[in-house]
Every structure is written in structure tokens, then in C-alpha cells.
Amino acid sequence: MFGRIGRRIIAALAGLGVLALIVWALWPQPVPVDMAVVGRGPLEVTVEDEGMTRIREVYTVSAPIGGKMLRAPREVGDDVVANKTLVASIEPTDPTFLDVRSRRVAQAAVHAAQAAVDLAEAKIKEANSQLAFARNDLSRAEKLALTKTISARALEKAKLDVDSAEAAVASAVATLEVRRRELESAKAHLIQPGEIDAKTRSANDLNDVNDIHVYSPVNGRVLKIVAESEQVVQAGAPLLEIGDPRDLEIVIDFLSRDAVRIRPGQLARIESWGGDKVLSARVKRVEPNAFTKVSALGIEEQRVKVILDFTSPPAEWRELGNGYRVVARVVVWHRDDVLEVPLGALFREGDKWAVFVVENGRAQRRLIKIGERNLHAAQVLDGLKAGERVVLHPSDRVYDGVRVVSRD
């Protein structure tokens, strides 16, 4: 009889154990969550974007006159000294080709000029003959005047004739020189391309064919050579660019919604520039006009140029050059002691912000008011106190009043 009772007791206990297991399995279990503690500390808000370095003052050297520029004597990266380093040489250009009609007109002008020279030479001979006759006549008049054979007026008339004849000779000589220059001018119109070096440059009477030498206007380095090979350039054509690589600044194209928070004098950090250190800089200027820029995704964006000056020692960024890519973070807001909550704990509740606060092992939904925020934390203005725990990244299993437990 005792054996039957014992077996019944054991069966009852087994049934109670199975029932307890079923109840335990069906009983709601606490939801494992990640938690964080609300605390006080420094908070910094930055705006970030990509930009590039540029030399503050870049000088474009242009051709002072039109002509044939010789091959550039400098290369990119060469050091130059103001008013001493030759950067370009310009020669006179060759004349243009003559068509048949223009050539015949020029040849006719040469023949006419040659005829004028011949005529001037004949005029000189005639003037010399008149001068010789006048001098002989004056010699006879002077002899007759000694014997009072002719009047004083006749003697003066003979002297006047000699003076007039000498003037006529001088005039004829000057006319001949003019006609010879006209002949040279007419012949110059017949010079063809390629004949300058062989004829004109070797002529002793054309000493005005000189090269124009262009020197660097400032100290620095050659940044870019616009015209490198020998070519014909017009006056004002850019030849090369010169600047000082040690005089760098940073240009960042910020979105206009970020640029409205940037002010001159704000600090900035330069990252992802290729060096080991994070460089420091300061906002120098925010340009007043925006421009449209198409992003890599084809989206039109309004951008604003922000200029930064380095505040780090030059030795730390001497590897940078003109046009190098950098990433800049401008500090637009900073406080050393604020109540902050991790950004992962926030979620929207209508048009307000809310968090799940852990109280007595349960998640309690609470509306809060936040101020500034960055990518990691937000400033709490109302709704939380230091030391309270909040749920990070709450899932759909977390709701108001549910039991939670910290995830290991």
C-alpha cells in the first residue's frame, strides 16, 4: 500500500514540475537591451565637408606683345626670383604669305621705287652741274668786280646763284635718300615666311629686330605652364602661372544650410589630408554668394565657399601643395559641461523627441527636449537627469512598461 502512495506522490510532483516548466516557458521574459547612462560632459558640434588647398596669390604671366614665343625655358616646380628669372622669350613673327595679286602689286611698287631712285640720282647730277656752272660764273664775276667792270649787284647775284645751286644739290641728295628708303620698304613687302633669319636678321641696317624677354614678377615656383612649345601668341595670352607654395589657404565648398552657422574666427580641424597629425585652422572668410554644384549623384546643391587659414606650424603641413584634397571640420558650437544623451537612444514621438528610461527594470517612455546635437550625442534641455539609464537603439520589442534587462 505504501508503494502505491509513493508512486502517486512522485507522479503528482512530476506533473507539477511539467506544469511549472510550461508556465515558466509561457511567462513573459525581460527583453535584453543595450543601456547607457545619462551624464554631463563636453559637447561639440561640427560641420564637415571636403575641400582643397590653394595658393593665396597666384600670378598669371601674360605675353606683353604679340609674336612668336620660343619654347618655355622653365618647368613646373622650378624656383623663380622676381625680376631675375627668365620665364619666356618672344620674337617677331614671320610675315604672311602673298597671293599672286598682292605679290605683283608689291613687285610693281619695288619697280616704281627703283625708278624714283634713278630719277633722284639724275636730279643730283643736274644739281651738281648747275652748282659747278654757278661757281665758275661767280669766279668770273669776282675778277671783273676787281676792275669795276660789273656792278656790285651783279656780283651779289652770282653769289646768290651759287648758294641756290648748293641748296639744290643738298635737296637732291636728301630726296635720293628718301627714295632709297622707299625702295627698301617696297622690297620688305616681298619678304616671304622663312626668309627672316636668312635675310632680315643678318642685315646690318635692320637692328630693330630684337627678342622680348619676360621675367618672373614675384618670388616663388612655377605652378603651371600654359604655353610650353614654340608658338605664335597674341598680346595678353597667358603663358604660365607662378605662386609661393608656402602661402597656402584652404577652400571648402559647404552646403548653404551648413554655411549659415559658420562665422569668421571659428576653429577647424583638417583631417584626411595624408599626414599623421590632425591640423588646426581658423575660418577667415565666408563668401556672401552661393553657387549651384551638381553632386556625384546628379543632385543640384547650393554651395558656399569658406576660406580657412592654417594655424598649425608650417613644418607640419609643408608636404601639402596647391590643389591638394583635405577634409575640414568647423566647430560651430561647443560647451564644456552639458547634460547629454547618446544619439542612439532618441526616437521620434510625433513632432517631439522621446527616449525609453529604465525604471525598476521596466522601460518607461518619456518625452524630452533637446538642444544641439552631433553624430554621437545630444544636449538635453528638459526631461532627463544625470545618472538615469536609457535604452540604446530600442527595437520593436521594446514598448512602454515592458521588462528589460541589460544585454551582456
Q: Is the pLDDT of residue 145 over 60?
A: yes
Q: Is the pLDDT of residue 206 over 50?
A: no
Percent of the chain with pLDDT over 90: 53
pLDDT of 222: 93
Instruction: Determine the average pLDDT of the residues in 156-173.
Output: 87
pLDDT of 283: 97
Instruction: Determine the average pLDDT of the residues in 132-160.
Output: 83
The reported pTM is 0.65
| Per-residue three-class SS string for the chain | CHHHHHHHHHHHHHHHHHHHHHHHHHCCCCEEEEEEECEEEEEEEEEEEEEEEEECCEEEEECCCCEEECCCCCCCCCEECCCCCEEEEEECCCCCCCCHHHHHHHHHHHHHHHHHHHHHHHHHHHHHHHHHHHHHHHHHHHHHHHCCCCCHHHHHHHHHHHHHHHHHHHHHHHHHHHHHHHHHHHHHCCCCCCCHHHHHCCCCCCCCCCCEEEECCCCEEEEEECCCCCEEECCCCEEEEEECCCCEEEEEEEEHHHHCCCCCCCEEEEECCCCCCCEEEEEEEEEEEEEEEECCCCCEEEEEEEEEEECCCHHHCCCCCCCCEEEEEEEEEEEEEEEEEEHHHCEEECCEEEEEEEECCEEEEEEEEEEEECCCEEEEEECCCCCCEEEECCCCCCCCCCEEEECC
**Winning range, highest mean pLDDT, from 200-204, 306-310, 372-376:** 306-310
Q: What is the pLDDT of residues 3-33, one digit of tens each?
A: 667 666 777 667 666 666 665 555 567 889 9
Instruction: Determine the average pLDDT of the residues in 354-367.
Output: 92
pLDDT of 199: 47
pLDDT of 141: 82
pLDDT of 102: 84
Position 35 confidence tier, pLDDT thresholds 50, 70, 90 = very high
pLDDT of 269: 95
pLDDT of 234: 92
Position 242 confidence tier, pLDDT thresholds 50, 70, 90 = very high
Please state, rounded to an integer, the average pLDDT across all residues of the chain: 87
Q: Is the pLDDT of residue 382 over 50?
A: yes
Q: What is the pLDDT of residues 243-294, one digit of tens each?
A: 998 899 999 999 999 999 999 999 999 999 998 899 999 999 999 999 999 9
Percent of the chain with pLDDT over 70: 89
User: In this predicted model, which residue has the larger pLDDT, 157 or 408?
Assistant: 157
Q: Is the pLDDT of residue 208 over 50?
A: no
Q: What is the pLDDT of residues 368-380, one digit of tens each?
A: 999 999 989 999 9
Position 297 confidence tier, pLDDT thresholds 50, 70, 90 = confident
